[in-house]
């Protein structure tokens, strides 16, 4: 029995020393909106959504013979300084992105960090001066309590990002730890290195996880602030005697937030970026806890400097684990590593979920559009659906390509393991 146990251990050691490196399928280059193009689209979307919310509030019945106005909206009831405040918030990133693009084209690389910082400080001064000037005039016509509605997102910003300026102007801003590398900081494209060193793999995964979380935090904040100023603030400053459909205005606010959220998701998590996370997940691997009385099975003590092969049994923190990845550099029992592998082992599953959500949103809006009869509601929904069609197309395209690529990659991995 001792000889058989030793032979099993030798087999495990032999398998461990022959850890297979994952095979990666190249993802085709897909057309993607540049930062300038995306900010133009986002500004048009949010500006249109703001106009539509004002339309919901100040619409008229100009077609009636007894109507006292010839216009579709009561423009005299709209505070122009409130429009200026909202416009400044919504346009800030577009202006910054255009100037930043000009810096990248016309200036030398060593000057990028300095020029970018100067542009941020200059634009911050312009934006703050404009906001204070608009807020001063708004206070003349509205209660001071309403000013807190305008300033509320500022407190949320400081909680999320502290005193950093970059997230205020750049949705693709990287963590402050990466700001020493101007090329990486400006382009914001983390790379994957097919390393066979476990420590390097885990460090890469930690960096990618941090970058992913920072992008998600930026997506949530940006979509929230756009929906807040485009859909919520106009309602807060509506006159107390004004009658409007609260349900429809709230529904419009929800559609703005979901539309911005999905647009930011597609832009901040392109296929190439998801593929980088996928490749890192394949190298990271996954451990499954072995339950029951399995102490008699031959196993190793887990070592952080070893790259473990699929099927290897190890003991870590008095627990027995089995390697389930092609190569396994993850720490057994580390929930963060397990989540990373589960989510990005096959990104097409995540994309399929997003396609389903976006398709459900479009279908819901179509159903509401068919059932509505008010002219302003038809205009509002038609414009929002048009924007969501574009996002749905990009999500469906990304999903179909990822599904085919990762399906072929899985077949190659199976053949390689079988050989």
Average pLDDT over residues 165-178: 70
pLDDT at 35 over 60: yes
Q: Report phi then psi at 58, rounded to 5.
A: -115, 25
Lowest model confidence (mean pLDDT) among 194-208, 295-309, 390-404: 295-309
Instruction: Please report which confidence band the pLDDT of residue 294 belongs to, taking 50, 70 and 90 as the band edges.
Output: low
Is residue 4's pLDDT more than 80? no
pLDDT digits (tens, 9 = 90+) for 210-223: 999 999 999 999 99
327-328 and 300-301 strand pairing: unpaired
| Same domain assignment for residues 10 and 50 | no
Q: Are 264 and 300 in contact (CB under 8 A)?
A: no
pTM for the structure as a whole: 0.87
Instruction: Give domain status of residue 275, yes or no.
Output: no
Label each residue of the chain as H, E or C.
Answer: CHHHHHHHHHHHHHHHHCCCCCCCCCCCCCCCCCHHHHHHHHHHHHHHHHHHHHHHHHECCCCCCCCCCCCCECHHHCCHHHHHHHHHHHHHHHHHHHHHHHHHHHCCHHHHHHHHHHHHHHHHHHHHHHHHHHHHHHHHHCCHHHHHHHHHHHHHHHHHHCCCCHHHHCCCCCCHHHCCCHHHHHHCCCCCCCCCCHHHHHHHHHHHHHHHHHHHHHHHHHHHHHHHHHHHHHHHCCCCCCCCCHHHHHHHHHHHHHHHHHHHHHHHCCHHHHHHHHHHHHHHCCEEECCCCCCCCCCEECCCCCCEECCCEEEECCEEEEECCCEECCCCCCHHHHHHHHHHCCHHHHHHHHHHHHHHHHHHHHHHHHHCCCHHHHHHHHHHHHHHHHHHHHHHHHHHHHHHHHHHHHHHHHHHHHC
Q: What is the pLDDT of residue 123?
A: 95
Q: Is residue 351 part of a domain?
A: yes
Q: Do 126 and 208 belong together in one domain?
A: yes
* Last-in-domain residue among 304, 326, 343: 343
270-287 pLDDT, tens digit per residue, is: 999 999 999 999 999 999
Q: Which residue has the higher pLDDT, 317 or 9?
A: 317
Confidence of residue 51 (pLDDT cuts 50, 70, 90): very high
Residues 130 and 227 in one domain: yes
Task: For residues 156 and 80, give the distance between their C-alpha atoms in angstroms, rounded to a whole number.
Answer: 26
Averaged confidence pLDDT in the chain: 86
Tell me the average pLDDT across 189-209: 82
Domain contains 42: yes
Asked if 86 and 50 touch (Cβ cutoff 8 Å), the reply is yes
Asked if the structure places residue 271 within a domain, the reply is: no
Domain count, the chain: 3
Give the pLDDT of residue 144.
Answer: 84
Is residue 396 one of the residues assigned to a domain? yes
Q: Are 206 and 317 part of one and the same domain? A: no
Q: What local confidence, expressed as pLDDT, does residue 189 receive? A: 59
- Confidence category of residue 87, pLDDT binned at 50, 70, 90: very high
Expressed as residue numbers, the domain containing 332 is 1-30+285-343
Question: Does residue 363 share a domain with residue 338?
Answer: no
Q: Does one domain contain both 238 and 338?
A: no
Same domain, 143 and 164: yes
Asked whether residue 58 falls in the same domain as residue 25, the answer is no
Least confident stretch, 181-185, 339-343, 350-354: 181-185
pLDDT for 197 = 83
Task: Tell me the CA distances in angstroms from 333 to 287, 319, 352, one per residue in order.
Answer: 7, 9, 28
Instruction: Say whether both 51 and 97 belong to one domain.
Output: yes
Residue 331, in any domain of the structure: yes
């Amino acid at each position: 029995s001792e000889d058989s146990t030793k032979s099993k251990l030798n087999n495990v050691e032999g398998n461990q020393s022959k850890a297979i490196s994952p095979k990666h399928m190249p993802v085709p280059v897909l057309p993607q909106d540049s930062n300038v193009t995306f900010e133009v689209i986002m500004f048009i979307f949010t500006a249109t959504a703001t106009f539509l919310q004002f339309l919901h509030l100040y619409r008229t019945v100009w077609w009636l013979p007894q109507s006292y106005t010839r216009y579709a909206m009561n423009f005299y009831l709209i505070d122009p300084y409130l429009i200026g405040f909202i416009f400044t918030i919504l346009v800030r990133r577009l202006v910054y992105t255009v100037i930043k693009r000009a810096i990248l084209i016309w200036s030398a690389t060593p000057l990028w960090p300095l020029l970018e910082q100067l542009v941020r400080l200059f634009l911050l001064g312009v934006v703050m001066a404009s906001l204070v000037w608009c807020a001063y005039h708004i206070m003349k016509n509205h209660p001071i309590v309403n000013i807190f509605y305008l300033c509320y997102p500022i407190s949320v910003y400081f909680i999320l990002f502290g005193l950093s300026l970059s997230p205020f102007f750049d949705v693709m801003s990287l963590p402050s730890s990466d700001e020493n590398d101007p090329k990486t900081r400006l382009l914001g494209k983390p790379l994957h290195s097919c390393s066979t060193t476990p420590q390097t793999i885990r460090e890469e995964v930690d960096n990618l996880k941090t970058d992913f979380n920072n992008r998600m935090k930026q997506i949530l904040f940006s979509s929230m602030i756009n929906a807040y100023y485009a859909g919520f603030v106009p309602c807060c400053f509506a006159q107390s005697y004004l009658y409007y459909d609260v349900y429809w205005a709230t529904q419009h606010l929800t559609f703005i937030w979901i539309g911005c959220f999905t647009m930011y998701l597609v832009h901040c998590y392109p296929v190439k970026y998801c593929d980088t996370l996928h490749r890192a997940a394949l190298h990271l691997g996954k451990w499954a806890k072995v339950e029951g009385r399995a102490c008699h099975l031959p196993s190793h003590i887990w070592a952080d400097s070893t790259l473990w092969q699929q099927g290897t049994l190890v003991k870590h923190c008095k627990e027995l684990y089995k390697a389930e990845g092609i190569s396994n550099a993850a720490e057994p029992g580390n929930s963060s590593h397990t989540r990373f592998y589960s989510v990005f082992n096959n990104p097409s599953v995540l994309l399929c979920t997003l396609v389903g959500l976006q398709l459900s949103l479009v279908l819901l809006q179509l159903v509401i559009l068919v059932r509505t009869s008010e002219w302003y509601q038809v205009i509002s929904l038609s414009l929002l659906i048009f924007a969501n069609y574009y996002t749905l197309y990009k999500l469906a395209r990304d999903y179909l390509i990822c599904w085919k690529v990762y399906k072929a990659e899985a077949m190659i991995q199976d053949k390689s393991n079988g050989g």
